[in-house]
Amino acid sequence: MRIEMVCPAAEDSAHLRSLAVATLASLTPDDVELSLRDDIVRRLDPATDLDYGADLAAITVSTKTALRAYELAAAYRQHGVKVVMGGIHPSAVPDEALEHCDAVVVGEAEGLWEQVVADARRGALQRLYRHSAWPDFSHPPRPKRDIFPSRGYMPVQTVQTSRGCPFVCDFCSVTPFMGRTVRRRDPEDVAREVATLGRGWVMFADDNIVGYGEASRALFRALRPVRRTWFGQASLQGIKDDETLRLMFASGCRSLFVGFESVSRGTLVACGKRQNDPRDYIDAVHRLHDHGISVWASFVFGFDEDTPDVFEATVEVARKAGVIMASFCILTPYPGTPLHTRLKQEGRLFEDRWWLHERRDGYPFFRPKGMSTEQLFEGWQQTWKSFYSGSSLLDRFRHAPRTSFFATMAFLPLNIFQRRLTAEKIIGGNRFFVRDSAAHTSAPRA
């Protein structure tokens, strides 16, 4: 039996190996012949690049890649190849996905994929596969990374140590699809996996790598002897404790992507991100910087409580805090989230299934409450411009922590890239800026 794994890409997908694909590969019986087609490494041409002799195409799909996934699925099906889809998007809207494929796996593959393969082998694929309980994640199978070509990716390996999140931010897909109970791996098992990875950075694909008290500290202690440099994502809970931060640095952490989301406490309470308190932001960033950990901040605009003054207020906090980098997003109603349901009920979505339409990058998918749609869009553009202005860059560089690798070595190249992104993509409207830049900088073609 031959299975082709497929990673569709959006115009700004990061050049990373998909952990979903590596996980599926590890769950696939040894007698199945596996191939991989990765749109990220090279944009796939359905006329020449797909294996229509395969028995099954397995496509991993997020909302951003749904349109492309449906296009590739159509090509396989036209050639008589059965298609199964999984990932966060088909898990949220399985009925929509089933219009484009033969079977959908809702939720995590562990415990279901084996059944899909067995059914496909005897020509009896079911339409829908889903769990009745969250699968155990204490000792997951080791992702099979040799399925990826050796070139074409960033020198970063992703590793996941936990699934689920105890919080219920209304714009987020994680809690609805991975649950409120955090399922953690055995720290020693994580350390053993990290030790097998080659050179390069490790990125933890956890939503919150710190914030679980002793459990987080146990992970950092286990990682320490492996001596690998890593970065991850975090919310603010859990970074108040100096001992945890010391351990985190000692375990190799050099940068955190932190979801601050808003500088307004009222907004944070309303959207459910109660663990963030804007009064702590500047101290929190300085504390991390003092421990040698750079902060890449993320903010979101368009919440119901946001008024036009939110843009300037946000830039001011980000500049004062001296974050190394910041991303500013317009609130996006992903399917299956409470936000999507509410905006739909209130009749504020321009299109219910906005992901099926190509449109200008960044333009809001809904009517905001505290300002006009144009004000939201233009305010978002101005925020990028202001945060990546020459004066902001110099100011942040002057105050950047010298203890941090990112601050000293990567500050200027990263910020210069973000300035170009601001000019060409955010302001200039070139959606393909990231893809075009990657094509020029990462010569490899598989």
Find the helix or strand (DSSP H, E) in which 6 lies.
Answer: strand 2-7
Residues 6 or more apart whose Cβ sits within 8 Å of residue 153: 15, 16, 17, 40, 41
Among 172, 219, 236, 325, binds ligand B12 (CB under 6 A): 172
211 binds, among ligand B12, ligand SF4, none (CB under 5 to 8 A by kind): none
157 binds, among ligand SF4, ligand B12, none (CB under 5 to 8 A by kind): none
84 binding ligand B12? (CB under 6 A): yes
Tokens of 128: 């829908």
Among 3, 36, 50, 58, binds ligand B12 (CB under 6 A): 58
Tokens of 419: 């300035």
Residue 16, number of CB atoms within 10 A of its CB: 16
**Residue 91: Cβ-neighbour burial (10 angstroms; 0-12, 13-18, 19+):** buried
Structural contact between residues 209 and 216, judged by C-beta atoms closer than 8 angstroms? yes
Q: How far is the CB of 376 from ligand B12 (least distance, A)?
A: 15
110 binds, among ligand SF4, ligand B12, none (CB under 5 to 8 A by kind): ligand B12
User: Residue 25 carries which side chain, given as an amino acid letter?
Assistant: A
Q: How far is the CB of 314 from ligand SF4 (least distance, A)?
A: 17
14: left (phi > 0), else alpha (psi -120 to 50), else beta?
beta
**Site of tokens 């059914």:** 119
Could you give the string, one character per residue 282-321, with x where binding to ligand B12 holds by CB under 6 A and - elsewhere? ----------------------------------------
How far apart (Å, rounded) are the C-alpha atoms in residues 197 and 187? 16
216 binds, among ligand SF4, ligand B12, none (CB under 5 to 8 A by kind): none
175 binds, among ligand B12, ligand SF4, none (CB under 5 to 8 A by kind): ligand SF4
Dihedral sign computed on CA atoms, order 371, 374, 376, 381: negative
Quick one: 12 or 280, whose CB is closer to ligand B12?
A: 12
Q: How far is the CB of 295 from ligand B12 (least distance, A)?
A: 15
Structural contact between residues 143 and 25, judged by C-beta atoms closer than 8 angstroms? yes
Quick one: 193 or 207, whose CB is closer to ligand SF4?
A: 207
431 binds, among ligand B12, ligand SF4, none (CB under 5 to 8 A by kind): none
259 binds, among ligand B12, ligand SF4, none (CB under 5 to 8 A by kind): ligand SF4
Structural contact between residues 314 and 263, judged by C-beta atoms closer than 8 angstroms? yes
Could you give the string, one character per residue 148-167, with x where binding to ligand B12 holds by CB under 6 A and - elsewhere? ----------x-x-------
User: Residue 58 carries which side chain, given as an amino acid letter?
Assistant: A
What is the binding site for ligand B12 (CB under 6 A)?
A: 10, 12-14, 16, 18-20, 23-24, 58-60, 62-65, 84-89, 92, 105, 108-110, 113, 158, 160, 172-174, 178, 205, 207, 329, 334
